[in-house]
Amino acid sequence: MPEIEHLRRTLAKRIVGSTIDCVDVRRADVIRTPRGRGGRQATAAMCGLRGARVTTTDRHGKQLAILTTRGVLVVHLGMSGRLQAVGEQEPTSAALVGASHVHMVMTLIDAEGRRSIMVHRDPRRFGGLWLRDTLEDVRRAEWSRLGPDALTIRRECFLARLSRGRSIKAMLLDQSIVAGVGNIYADEALHRARLHPATRGVSVSRDRLGLLHTALGAVLRAAVRAGGSTIRDFQDAAGRFGTYAGRHRVYARAGLPCLDCGTVLAGSTVAGRTTVHCPMCQPRRSAAGSSGTRSIDRLSTPVDSTG
């Protein structure tokens, strides 16, 4: 989600106020319709954006909405998706349009008549694009099924939603509980909050769940400021990489020393996803008295120094 929020900001600067002049759908099956993916009407509907002016952008969780005068384009990048917008005359534009796995190219014209192109590329095609008439429709159809956005969820709401019997990591990753937390940020937040990923939510004290809420917010905000995490594919609207991967404290660091205590970080699978945690900083607390109000070792969360 930090990647999407950063993308939204960089993209908005480049396309809001511009008019869509041309829509080139190269691979219709990235377009989702009520009747599945792809098809002639999917392409036709997307081409219906011709002549529309981009008014603003929005986001909920990992979904990006591009609002226009002729409908809303919703984007989910999945694992390998990118959306880039560059001036038509810029040297990078030819390579961008000619790259492999480019599924849609839009040509836009700004108020001064300058032409730019917006390119959607997604090698693995786990992501998708779809259209709704209005933002209200998007909220009703898609966003109502998502939990509150992870960047703005209130502490009490977070506590209530995560106080269930499932593992805490499974719930962080469940978009219907809280929207926007992916595998990287789940592990990073759990490490900051000193919580073992497999702990059942119901057995975590209110204080520590509150700590997780604070840690998650801090991690996500720092990641947005850093332009997201680029593992391999992610680039923002200008083609820049996110720099937050250099600040990951546990993600992809199994077998390396914990940056807090030096203990070798443990790799495992939790909720079907690769997971890294520190056995010392994030001990498995015995579920003995499941009252959920047992004492807490050390309530400390390293605070990010930037900003």
Q: Which residues bind DNA (CB under 7 A)?
A: 3, 61-62, 76, 78-80, 100-101, 123-126, 145, 164-167, 170, 173, 175, 182-184, 200, 202, 228-234, 242, 245, 269-274
Residue 14: count other Cβ atoms within 10 Å of its Cβ: 19
Shortest Cβ distance from residue 59 to DNA (Å)?
12
Q: Which is nearer to DNA, 193 or 198 (CB)?
A: 198
Q: Which is nearer to DNA, 20 or 150 (CB)?
A: 150
The residues with which 132 forms a beta bridge, in sequence order, are: 72
Shortest Cβ distance from residue 32 to DNA (Å)?
11
Closest residue by Cα to residue 43 from 110, 119, 130: 130
Q: Which is nearer to DNA, 124 or 140 (CB)?
A: 124
Shortest Cβ distance from residue 272 to DNA (Å)?
5
Shortest Cβ distance from residue 246 to DNA (Å)?
12
Phi-psi region at 65: left, alpha or beta (left = phi > 0; alpha = psi -120 to 50): beta
Shortest Cβ distance from residue 217 to DNA (Å)?
17
Shortest Cβ distance from residue 132 to DNA (Å)?
16
Q: Which is nearer to DNA, 207 or 233 (CB)?
A: 233
Q: Give the Cα separation of 23 and 190 in Å (integer).
A: 43
Q: Give the Cα separation of 43 and 26 in Å (integer).
A: 9
Q: Which is nearer to DNA, 99 or 261 (CB)?
A: 99
DSSP-based helix, strand, coil % in the chain, nearest 5: 30, 25, 45
Q: Which is nearer to DNA, 202 or 280 (CB)?
A: 202
b/e for 83-110, b at 16 or more Cβ within 10 A?
A: bbbbeeeeeebeebbeeebbbbbbbbbb
Q: Which is nearer to DNA, 57 or 229 (CB)?
A: 229
Shortest Cβ distance from residue 37 to DNA (Å)?
9
* Alpha helix (H) residue ranges in the chain: 2-15, 40-47, 92-98, 135-141, 155-162, 168-173, 183-192, 206-225
Q: Give the Cα separation of 143 and 107 in Å (integer).
A: 28
- Tracing tokens 């990489």 back to the chain, one arrives at 241
Q: What is the DSSP letter of 287?
A: -
